[in-house]
Amino acid sequence: MIHEAYAAQCAQAESRHETGQEPRRGRLILFALAFGTFAIGTGEFGSNGIIQLFSASLRVDVPTATWAVTAYAIGVMLGSPLITIAAARLNRRTVLLLLMAGFVLGNLLSAAALDIGMLIGARLLTGMVQGAYFGAGAVVAAYVFGPGRGGKAFAVVMSGLTIATVVGSPLATLLGQHAGWRATYLLVAGTGALALAALTAWLPRTRQLAGAPVRQELQALRRPGVWLMMAVASLGISSIFAVYTFIGPFVTTAAHRGESVVPIGLAVFGLGMAAGNALGGQLADRHSSRGLVLGYAGTLVVLVVLGLGGHRLAILFPGFFCVGALMMMAIPTIQVRLTSAAPQAPTLMGALNLAALNLANALGALGGALTLSLGFGTLSTVWAGFVLTAAGLALFLGAVVAGPVGGRFSELLSAARHDFGDFELCDD
User: How confident is the model over 345-400, as pLDDT tens digits?
Assistant: 656 666 677 778 778 878 888 898 889 888 888 899 999 999 999 999 999 888 76
Residue closest to 175 by CA, chosen among 163, 190, 161 = 190
b/e string for 58-87 if b means 16 or more Cβ within 10 A? bebebbebbbbbbbbbbbbbbbbbebbeeb
Q: What is the pLDDT of residue 73?
A: 81
Q: d(Cα 361, Cα 221) in Å, to the nearest integer?
A: 22
User: What's the chain's Rg over C-alpha atoms?
Assistant: 21
Q: Which residue has the higher pLDDT, 402 or 40?
A: 40
Q: d(Cα 47, Cα 29) in Å, to the nearest integer?
A: 28
Q: Which residue has the higher pLDDT, 73 or 198?
A: 198
Q: What is the pLDDT of residue 104?
A: 96
Q: What is the pLDDT of residue 106?
A: 94
Q: What is the pLDDT of residue 147?
A: 58
Q: d(Cα 290, Cα 282) in Å, to the nearest integer?
A: 11
Angle made by CA atoms 51, 195, 204, in degrees to the nearest 5: 145
Q: What is the pLDDT of residue 250?
A: 92
Domains, in order of start, for the chain: 1-212 (1.20.1250.20), 219-428 (1.20.1250.20)
Residue 19 is given by DSSP the state: T
Q: Do the Cβ atoms of 10 and 142 come closer than 8 Å?
A: yes
Angle made by CA atoms 417, 423, 428, in degrees to the nearest 5: 140
Q: What is the pLDDT of residue 406?
A: 43
Q: Do the Cβ atoms of 395 and 248 come closer than 8 Å?
A: no
Q: Which residue has the higher pLDDT, 364 or 196?
A: 196
Q: Do the Cβ atoms of 303 and 323 come closer than 8 Å?
A: yes
Q: What is the pLDDT of residue 330?
A: 83
Q: What percent of the chain has pLDDT over 70?
A: 75
Binned at pLDDT 50, 70 and 90, residue 326 comes out as: very high
Q: d(Cα 274, Cα 356) in Å, to the nearest integer?
A: 20
Q: What is the average pLDDT value for the chain, to the nearest integer?
A: 79
Q: Do the Cβ atoms of 2 and 134 come closer than 8 Å?
A: yes
Indicate whether this model's pTM tops 0.95: no
Angle made by CA atoms 297, 303, 305, in degrees to the nearest 5: 115
Q: What is the pLDDT of residue 417?
A: 46
b/e string for 319-349 if b means 16 or more Cβ within 10 A? bbbbbbbbbbbbbbbbbbbbbbbbeebbbbb
Q: Which residue has the higher pLDDT, 327 or 3?
A: 327
Q: d(Cα 135, Cα 66) in Å, to the nearest integer?
A: 27
Q: Which residue has the higher pLDDT, 61 or 290?
A: 61
Question: Which helix (H) or strand (E) covers residue 246, if one does?
Answer: none
Q: d(Cα 349, Cα 371) in Å, to the nearest integer?
A: 33
Separation in Å, CA 112 to CA 54, 101, 117, 329, 333: 12, 17, 12, 37, 40
Q: d(Cα 319, Cα 328) in Å, to the nearest integer?
A: 14
User: How confident is the model over 222-260, as pLDDT tens digits?
Assistant: 777 778 888 888 898 888 888 988 888 899 999 999 888
* Mean pLDDT lowest among 180-184, 308-312, 424-428: 424-428
DSSP helix/strand/coil, 400: helix
